[in-house]
Amino acid sequence: MSIKLYELVGKDKSRPFSPHCWKTRMALAHKRLDYEAVPVGFTEIAEIENGGQTIVPVIRHGDRIIADSFEIALHLREAYPDRNGHLFQGEGSIALTRFVESWSQSQLHTWIFRWAAMDIYNMLDEADQAYFRENREKRVGMTLEEFVSDREERAGQLQQILAPIRLMLKKQPYLGGKDPIFADYIPFGALQWLRICSGLAMWDKDDPVRDWFERLLDLHDGAGRSVPEAEG
């Protein structure tokens, strides 16, 4: 049964950058599933599968259309329960992975967006730039330029935000234990967003979390490295 993945891109259609779409990319790779990637811009999301969509990723799997990376992961768990390992380790793992998602989006995403907002803007085509500027400036209450103006002063905050993962990695190689699960792909997706949009020059290469991230980039035949890191 074919799978079509709609994912967010900018002017360069070969550089999908959404953290949520990367969660789904890694989940599909985890299950060793082939898929057709369909690049879409911000202003094209509403047109996906004849309209009605408001977010990406979206997949079409046979006659089913599923939006939201977590819902897609749950669908893959149900559709392919025995294929190449588990995305979740039982029902309790699903609930705990929801916590990882909440932490990542409230802490990690917040810092990354404040760092990368202008880098994201500069990746977009003209129509998406206009949408992104209007939507995000309304959200943050200032211009994008003002929003990122002190980002260098906040570079060290990334190390602090990653402390919970760093402590866990002292006892195990992945959030999932000896092998990665969907909980790993959630913060991975956020950091991949940063890597593709801004690069990782601000991140200490000796950080154990950086080592975990690099191992995830290598996973699934280097799926995460299929898009090069941003320059500069």
Q: What is the CATH number of the domain that holds 210?
A: 1.20.1050.10
In angstroms, the CA 53 to CA 40 distance is 12
Shared domain for 164 and 70, answered yes or no, is: no
Query: pLDDT 10s per residue in the chain (232 long)?
Result: 799 999 999 999 999 999 999 999 999 999 999 999 999 999 999 999 999 999 999 999 999 999 999 999 999 999 999 899 899 999 999 999 999 999 999 999 999 999 999 999 999 999 999 999 999 999 999 999 999 999 999 999 999 999 999 999 999 999 999 999 999 999 999 999 999 999 999 999 999 999 999 999 999 999 999 999 999 6
Q: Specify the pTM.
A: 0.97
Shared domain for 95 and 71, answered yes or no, is: no
Q: Is 164 exposed, middle or buried (0-12, 13-18, 19+ CB in 10 A)?
A: middle
User: Does residue 230 belong to any structural domain of this protein?
Assistant: no
Shared domain for 138 and 36, answered yes or no, is: no
Q: What is the DSSP code (8-state) at residue 108?
A: I
Shared domain for 75 and 95, answered yes or no, is: no
In angstroms, the CA 191 to CA 195 distance is 6
The tokens 């985890």 sit on which residue?
A: 30
Cβ partners under 8 Å of residue 102, min gap 6: none
First to last CA, the chain: 41
Q: Look at the chain and report how many structural domains it folds into.
A: 2
Domain coverage including residue 45? 3-79
